[in-house]
Amino acid sequence: MSLSRSAPLRLAKYLRVMAIGFQNTLVYRWNFLLRVGFSFIPLMGAFFFWGAAAKGGGGEIGGYSFNAMISYFLGLMLLDLLASPTEDDYQIAAEIRDGLINQFLMKPVDYLAYRFSLFWSYRAIYAATTLVPVLAAIWYLRAYFTMPESWGVAWLCLVAVLLSATLQFLIAFTSALLAFWVLEVSAPIFIIYSFEFLAGGHVFPLDLFPPWAYRLIMLTPFPYEYWFPLGIFLGRFSPDEVARGFAMQAAWCLGVWLLARWVWARGIRRYTAVGG
Amino acid sequence: MRRYLRLAFALFRYSLAREMMFKANFLLWIVVEIAWLGLQLALVEVIFAHVTEVAGWTKYEMVMLVGTSHLVQQIFQVAFLVNLIEFPENVRTGKLDFALLQPASPQFLVSIRKYDPGSVVNCAIGVAFVAWAAWKLGLRPAPWQLGLYALMVLNGVFLHYALMLMIVTLAFWIVRAQGLVYGYYNLFNIARMPREAFRGAAKVLFTWVLPMLVVANFPAQVLARGVIGSGATWIFLLTLAFLALARVWFRFGLRFYTSASS
């Protein structure tokens, strides 16, 4: 192995991984379709629940009309399908626990880059197959759906979604690395999820929080997973806030990436390669 | 019947002993459930900072609904959830063989082989929130209200069970069915929403087909308002029907089990 290997060749390696990821997902297509089907349930719940809440608030709730709220949750569903890891964290933890990462330690493949490629191939399949039902849902609810104000906003939103996907993956990856230290990672991962959900805006838009809580939350990485791209999409931010948001989002991606590297390096030192 | 009760008790003791081997994990799972309950209560808190009622439910009535839904879910979790979650994986790997070879009903062994003793603590937390809501609402529930509440909560537990068993039975045909477990979590979230918020086909769907709006709404209503919702007698019959259906469906699915070589 030489370090001077050309960049395209190195990239090709990970593209190959992506191709395998495609096949792997399609083998278990029923599992996958079920997931997609079930993901409509929270949307239905949100539709009726927030409908009733908005009615209780005289047509709006904390500056959100019912339509804006439905757009928020439709956008959230789209974001979940496009950018949220599904089983990546459990697979990573299982690979560490069962000693399957041995093969990566022996080969010139970077495990983080390998998982990142797999992540994107899952996302691509999700996006491709769910686009039709999700667009159908949006069309069905079109009376409630507000499009982004302009193409400029749409592009900004897309960038925020890509960064959000990266951040979500890195957080999932880093939490899965706990498997180096404990056998059972589900409980800590679920605790991290609960923070991501509440402080990320997965339960309700974050500006419904009191202002002091909102300012505090915006310093954590979580809002940049869901709330920031959705807020851009709905036009909830001033240009200043958008600029600051992107800076924070990029900074957190970098920060969590460095954390992942550091945790990985420490984990590998403890790692005892169970099995073969 | 007595044999099964003894078996259930022995398995519970075994589960408790096993959990105690991993004390940190045991405690962490309790924290997980508290975190997720906290999340739901934060939602109630935030919404009611802006409105005074949602579909006719006031703030502490909503707390009672969320608490009741939590209680039902946690009782379900003590006995059934772990087993049903592991079921698809056991089908895939062929570990189900072990349940089939024992001299007891396969459905029994599939459903309550393992217990989750940690959820007992979370049941208590659910009860505490219901009691707190009752106190805030200034309720003085009559004995019949408490009795009916307890019955309806148990009814909800068995409804969860029947539904979940039917869902995971699909694992006989679908390899790698974690998607099913994911779906179940999505479904559970419906249970803590007011039934009156739903309209039309969705209301019918979540009352009769995927009866999540039955589980916590009816008992919470009995306790909070002393009102027996229309259709309250039906919910018990519905649960019986679902249990029967789940049993038939499970036995049907079992015929398609082919095991897996090691």
Q: With an 8 Å Cβ cutoff, are B54 and A49 in contact?
A: yes
Q: Show me where the domains of chain A are located.
A: 7-270
Buried-exposed string B122-147: b where 16+ CB fall within 10 A, e elsewhere: bbebbbebbeebbeebebeeeeebee
pLDDT at A5 exceeding the cut of 70:
no
Question: How much of chain B exceeds pLDDT 70, in percent?
Answer: 97
Query: What Å distances lie between residue A256 and A110, A222, A248, CA to CA?
Result: 17, 11, 12
B128 touches chain A (CB under 8 A): no
What is the rounded average pLDDT for all residues in chain B?
86
What is the per-residue pLDDT for A137? 82
With cut-offs at 50, 70 and 90, classify the pLDDT of residue A183: confident
Q: In whole angstroms, what is the distance from residue B57 CA to residue A53 CA? A: 10
Q: CB distance from A45 to chain B under 8 Å?
A: yes
Lowest model confidence (mean pLDDT) among A99-103, A120-124, B72-76, B209-213: A99-103
- In this prediction, residue A125 carries a pLDDT of 81
pLDDT tier, A6 (very low <50, low <70, confident <90, very high otherwise)? low
CB B39 within 8 A of CB A198: yes
* Predicted pLDDT at A7: 64
| Residue of A25, A40, A48 to mutate, interface with B, max B Cβ within 10 Å | A48
On whether any CB of chain B is under 8 Å from the CB of A38, the answer is: yes
Q: What's the CA gap between B247 and B253, in Å, rounded?
A: 10
**Predicted TM-score of the model (pTM):** 0.84
CB B132 within 8 A of CB B212: no
Q: Facing residues of A64 across strands?
A: A61
Least confident span in A87-91, A151-155, B90-94: B90-94
Q: What pLDDT band is residue A218 in, cutting at 50, 70 and 90? A: very high
- The answer for B 154-193 residues in CB contact with A (under 8 A) is 170, 173-180, 182-183, 186-187, 189-190, 193
For B17-45, how does the pLDDT look when each residue is reduced to its tens digit (9 = 90+)?
777 777 777 888 888 888 888 998 999 99
Could you tell me if the ipTM is greater than 0.90?
no
Q: 């999540």: which residue's tokens?
A: B212
Contacts for A45-50: CB closer than 8 Å, 24+ residues apart: A45/B189, A45/B190, A45/B193, A46/A70, A46/A73, A47/A73, A47/A141, A47/B202, A48/B193, A48/B197, A48/B198, A48/B199, A48/B202, A49/B54, A49/B193, A49/B194, A49/B197
The string of pLDDT tens digits covering residues B137-157 is 998 888 999 999 999 999 999
Position with higher pLDDT, B62 vs B106: B62
Q: What is the pLDDT of residues B55-101, one digit of tens each?
A: 999 999 999 999 999 999 999 988 888 888 888 888 888 888 877 77
Q: Give yes or no for residue A261 having a pLDDT over 90.
A: yes
Any CB–CB contact under 8 A between A216 and chain B? Answer: no
Q: Does A197 touch chain B (CB under 8 A)?
A: yes
Q: Is A60 helix (H, G, I), strand (E, B) or coil?
A: strand
Is it the case that residue B132 has pLDDT exceeding 90?
yes
Which chain A residues are within 8 Å of B55, Cβ to Cβ?
52, 55-56
**In percent, how much of chain A has pLDDT > 90?**
36
From chain A, pick out residues whose CB is under 8 angstroms from the CB of B51: 53, 56-57, 61
